[in-house]
């Protein structure tokens, strides 16, 4: 299996945009969004696939809530560092909360 994070084609298309989390081992990735609901995660997957941006999704825990902090589980969306800026543009246009590191 190729360990290099696949980049998108010049015309913005990719054969398969969702990638396995195993590609995190040797590639620098950027966290771009944490989806708190399945509905939000599916919407973002559609946006990224439509844009032809390779991404990986992993579930993890995060702290949420204003008054009562609780530990929640969400879908963490990662892209390669090279595609991070290009990924944030369609997310911002569709009013997704963009995560900057």
Residue 4 forms part of a structural domain: no
Q: Is 65 left (phi over 0), alpha (psi -120 to 50) or beta?
A: left
- Give the chain's domain count: 1
Residue 99 forms part of a structural domain: no
Tens-digit pLDDT profile for residues 41-87: 999 999 999 988 889 999 999 888 889 999 999 999 999 888 899 99
Residue 35 forms part of a structural domain: yes
Confidence (pLDDT) at 11: 52
CATH code of 55's domain: 3.30.70
Residues of the domain holding 85 = 21-93
Q: How far is CA 22 from CA 27, 57, 64, in A?
A: 10, 11, 27
């Amino acid at each position: 299996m190729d360990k290099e994070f696949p980049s998108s084609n010049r015309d913005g298309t990719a054969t398969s945009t969702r990638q396995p989390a195993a590609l995190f081992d040797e590639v620098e990735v950027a966290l771009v969004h944490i989806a708190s609901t399945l509905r939000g995660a599916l919407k973002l997957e559609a946006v990224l696939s439509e844009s032809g941006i390779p991404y990986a999704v992993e579930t993890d825990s995060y702290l949420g809530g204003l008054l009562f902090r609780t530990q929640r589980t969400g879908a963490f969306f990662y892209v390669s560092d090279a595609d991070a800026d290009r990924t944030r543009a369609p997310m911002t246009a569709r009013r997704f909360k963009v995560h900057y590191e």
